[in-house]
Chain A
């Protein structure tokens, strides 16, 4: 049972281009939507996160767009760089009660060509 669906599975972008990764969810109890970045051989690291009452959050070249009515959110990487090449995971959290959990999407392997 995958509660967070992520696409595409892989993405190749030219340096300077825009990378866009999409996620969709079903459970309206989710209360935070983070994105994690993982480099080969490393554990994932939190990149940026958004609450469902906010439509957009920007941190540097990374932007989350959130559409609550469609139950969708996306990560935009502006001016993509080869150093951004990594696997990106969207996720959704439940923060209350006994079910304090983070549910991850299946991941997107991003390659930025020089």
Chain B
């Protein structure tokens, strides 16, 4: 398995609270991605990074922000969690070929 860890793996939080999910890689890959997975929607891109401090929005970026201060870490923040953000969040990494991405184990987030 690619060296990708996500933390926490499970989290339950209340509406309106801030939440930060962490993705850590040991592969030194340039590109990092955050997706959310919901039934019937597949995986949808939230934000991605193409280098330290270089990030861009994906298809479903509203309500999310990201930061990448080191090559190995990519943080996803929900400033004020809503029930619609209940989902499974996956981090992915790639180097060079966009279609070849390696996924982490996922974080299941429940917003009550």
Interface residues of A (CB under 8 A from B): 1, 6, 9, 32-34, 41-46, 49, 89, 91, 93-95, 98, 100-107
Contact = CB atoms under 8 A, between A and B. Distances in A.
Contacts of B99: 32-34, 46, 49, 91, 93, 95, 102
A105 B104 CA distance: 19
Chain B interface mostly helix, strand, loop or mixed? strand
Nearest to A92: B99
A34 B24 CA distance: 24
B45 A42 contact: no
Given A101-B48, A102-B45, A105-B42, A94 B98 contact: yes
27 contacts: A9-B40, A32-B98, A32-B99, A41-B105, A42-B105, A42-B106, A43-B4, A44-B43, A45-B102, A46-B100, A49-B99, A49-B100, A93-B99, A94-B98, A95-B99, A100-B98, A101-B45, A101-B58, A101-B98, A102-B99, A104-B42, A104-B43, A105-B42, A106-B40, A106-B41, A106-B42, A107-B42
Contacts of B31: 100
Contacts of B70: none
Given A46-B101, A103-B59, 6 more contacts: A42-B105, A43-B4, A95-B99, A98-B50, A100-B98, A101-B48
